[in-house]
């Protein structure tokens, strides 16, 4: 059953609902703070990547913060934005699109920005929309891989030689054009953007066309346990410096499409322990649902235990965490340090769960987390976890922080 409730903090929610199901705890103020940071400091247009978390409450928080541009990858995402935010702009950023989706995007939802990385995709857009007449076709470049959780250029992106020819063909069709790249989600090295800009410069000079748009993509990182990249301001500064070196027309629009960096800290997840077997615990969410990125990106979220009756031990022990399905692969790929007396009935708040959590969840085995509540308290971040995370339950003060086990593999997926 879906609930729409507002609570002072996570502990208040647990006391009120005593949930035996997973609960996403949304912090709109945190989302708005993140949005304002991008809007105030990124030297161009900010699009939110809807795929990262498409929950309507998340989208509304960003819209209220001033975001009016959305990176949409499907007709369903376009419909969500257009039907809820009538003055917002959608950009069809998926490089591969069905003709039927292009038709509806063009005729029904008035989308006029499209991304391609192959000539056949340009032909689709021109065939369906007629080309010209204000249509914008942006060519996506593959760029060198740096330290990122996902290597997106392995799936999408034209080579520099292909991009040169595509840009010329876009102009020949009477469309406005641009270049786009994506350095990979959770990019931990700002040099990736500088290197990508060098490729952009080479393509612009060889193509001999004026760009209307330059999209430097997403990849802006969030902070996780044992994974805390440089501040985003250093990324913005690098992008600003590198863009100034490019031969761009004066009215070229610089864009970015952050997802993770905007939304990760704005949602935490509360799960319940349903069984303890020695140093294994079984919870009601897992890698088939909100926690898939523990496997695919090896991210380690901050965690804390909440117990309504009695105190939690100050001593920690490593625990293997299993999800709710009958699949043996439904297990976090690393052990987590938790109070050594964690038991059935306790709750665990998992921070930094705004990105690729509910958007990645399946209904496998009949489990599907769907409950969202709003809380006012600050987010559970790795930095907060290192500070005094004590709360008072029934008048007793107790420290309830927990972290991934020491000595776990710190390597990240390339």
323-339: pLDDT as tens digits:
999 999 999 999 999 99
Residue 373, phi then psi, degrees to nearest 5: -130, 165
State which of 252-256, 293-297, 367-371 shows the largest mean pLDDT: 252-256
pLDDT of res. 388 = 37
Q: Are residues 271 and 228 in the same domain?
A: no
Residue 411 lies in a domain: no
Cα–Cα nearest to 76, from 58, 51, 59, 99: 51
CATH of the domain at 148: 3.20.20.10
The CA distance from 334 to 330, in Å, is 12
pLDDT of res. 394 = 41
Q: Are residues 242 and 379 in the same domain?
A: no
The CA distance from 362 to 368, in Å, is 6
Q: Are residues 222 and 112 in the same domain?
A: yes
Where among 206, 231, 261 does a domain terminate? Answer: 261
Residue 347, phi then psi, degrees to nearest 5: -110, 155
- Give the confidence band of 349 by pLDDT, cuts at 50, 70, 90: very high
Q: Are residues 317 and 334 in the same domain?
A: yes
The whole domain housing 75 covers 28-261
User: Global pTM?
Assistant: 0.90
Residue 189 lies in a domain: yes
- Alpha carbon 320 to chain centroid, angstroms: 26
Residue 375 lies in a domain: yes
Residue 74 lies in a domain: yes
Question: In this predicted model, which residue has the larger pLDDT, 357 or 131?
Answer: 357
**Total domains, the chain:** 2
pLDDT of res. 37 = 98
The CA distance from 359 to 55, in Å, is 8
Dihedral over Cα of 13, 367, 221, 253: its sign: negative
- Give the confidence band of 385 by pLDDT, cuts at 50, 70, 90: low
Residue 412 lies in a domain: no
Q: Are residues 276 and 250 in the same domain?
A: no
Cα–Cα nearest to 33, from 373, 363, 354, 390: 354
Q: Are residues 203 and 316 in the same domain?
A: no
The CA distance from 393 to 116, in Å, is 55
Q: In whole numbers, what is the pLDDT of the chain averaged over residues?
A: 91
The CA distance from 55 to 401, in Å, is 28
Q: Are residues 80 and 194 in the same domain?
A: yes
Q: Are residues 176 and 319 in the same domain?
A: no
- Give the confidence band of 386 by pLDDT, cuts at 50, 70, 90: low
Residue 407 CB coordination number (10 Å): 9
pLDDT of res. 404 = 52
Q: Are residues 241 and 294 in the same domain?
A: no
- Give the confidence band of 390 by pLDDT, cuts at 50, 70, 90: very low
The CA distance from 373 to 23, in Å, is 7
Average pLDDT of span 391-409: 41
Question: In this predicted model, which residue has the larger pLDDT, 332 or 146?
Answer: 332
The CA distance from 108 to 110, in Å, is 6
The CA distance from 97 to 114, in Å, is 10
Q: Token digits for 120?
A: 């056949």
Residue 309 CB coordination number (10 Å): 8
The CA distance from 82 to 88, in Å, is 7
Residue 236 lies in a domain: yes
Q: Is the per-residue pLDDT at 212 higher than 60?
A: yes
pLDDT of res. 260 = 96
Where among 233, 261, 289 does a domain terminate? Answer: 261
Residues 12 and 221 sit within 8 Å (Cβ to Cβ): no
Q: Are residues 15 and 66 in the same domain?
A: no
For residue 39, give the H/E element and its range.
helix 28-41
Q: Are residues 395 and 317 in the same domain?
A: yes
Residue 247, phi then psi, degrees to nearest 5: -80, 75
Residue 365, phi then psi, degrees to nearest 5: 65, 15
Where among 216, 236, 261 does a domain terminate? Answer: 261
- Give the confidence band of 152 by pLDDT, cuts at 50, 70, 90: confident
The CA distance from 20 to 4, in Å, is 16
Lowest mean per-residue pLDDT among 81-85, 283-287, 387-391: 387-391
CATH of the domain at 383: 2.40.37.10
pLDDT in tens, 69-99: 999 999 999 999 999 999 999 999 999 999 9
The CA distance from 113 to 47, in Å, is 13
Residue 147 burial class via C-beta count within 10 angstroms: exposed 0-12, middle 13-18, buried 19 and up: middle
Residue 1 lies in a domain: no
Residue 414 lies in a domain: no
Residue 301 CB coordination number (10 Å): 27
Q: Token digits for 207?
A: 């193509």
Q: Are residues 369 and 241 in the same domain?
A: no
In this structure, the chain runs to a length of 414
């Amino acid at each position: 059953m879906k609930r729409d409730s507002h609570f002072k903090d996570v502990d208040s929610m647990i006391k009120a609902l005593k949930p035996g199901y997973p609960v996403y705890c949304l912090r709109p103020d945190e989302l708005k703070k993140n949005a304002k940071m991008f809007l105030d400091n990124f030297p161009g247009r900010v699009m939110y990547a809807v795929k990262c978390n498409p929950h309507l409450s998340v989208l509304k928080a960003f819209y209220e913060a001033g975001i009016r541009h959305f990176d949409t990858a499907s007709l369903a995402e376009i419909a969500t934005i257009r039907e809820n935010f009538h003055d917002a702009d959608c950009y069809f950023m998926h490089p591969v699109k069905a003709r039927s989706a292009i038709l509806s995007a063009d005729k029904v939802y008035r989308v006029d920005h499209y991304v391609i990385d192959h000539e056949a995709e340009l032909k689709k857009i021109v065939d369906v929309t007629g080309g010209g007449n204000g249509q914008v076709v942006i060519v996506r470049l593959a760029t060198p891989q740096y330290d990122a959780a996902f290597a997106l250029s392995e799936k999408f992106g034209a080579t520099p030689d292909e991009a040169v020819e595509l840009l010329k063909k876009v102009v020949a069709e009477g469309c406005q054009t641009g270049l786009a790249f994506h350095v990979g989600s959770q990019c931990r090295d700002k040099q990736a953007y500088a290197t990508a800009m060098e490729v952009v410069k080479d393509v612009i000079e060889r193509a001999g066309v004026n760009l209307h748009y330059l999209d430097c993509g997403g990849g802006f990182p969030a902070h996780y346990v044992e994974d805390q990249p440089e501040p985003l301001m250093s990324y913005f500064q690098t992008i600003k410096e590198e863009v100034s070196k490019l031969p761009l027309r004066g009215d070229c629009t610089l864009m970015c499409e952050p997802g993770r960096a905007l939304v990760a800290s704005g949602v935490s997840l509360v799960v319940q322990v349903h069984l303890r077997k020695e140093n294994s615990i079984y919870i009601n969410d897992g890698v088939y649902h909100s926690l898939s990125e523990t496997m695919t990106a090896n991210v380690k979220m901050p965690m804390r235990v909440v117990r309504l009756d009695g105190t939690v031990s100050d001593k920690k022990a490593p625990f293997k965490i299993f999800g709710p399905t009958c699949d043996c692969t439904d297990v976090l790929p690393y052990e987590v340090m938790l109070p050594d007396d964690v038991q059935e009935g306790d709750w665990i708040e998992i921070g930094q769960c705004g990105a690729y959590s509910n958007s990645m969840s399946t209904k496998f085995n009949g489990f599907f987390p769907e409950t969202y509540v709003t809380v006012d308290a600050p987010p559970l971040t790795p930095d907060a976890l290192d500070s005094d995370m004590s709360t008072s339950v029934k008048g007793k003060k107790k420290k309830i922080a927990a972290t991934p086990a020491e000595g776990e593999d710190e390597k990240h997926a390339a």
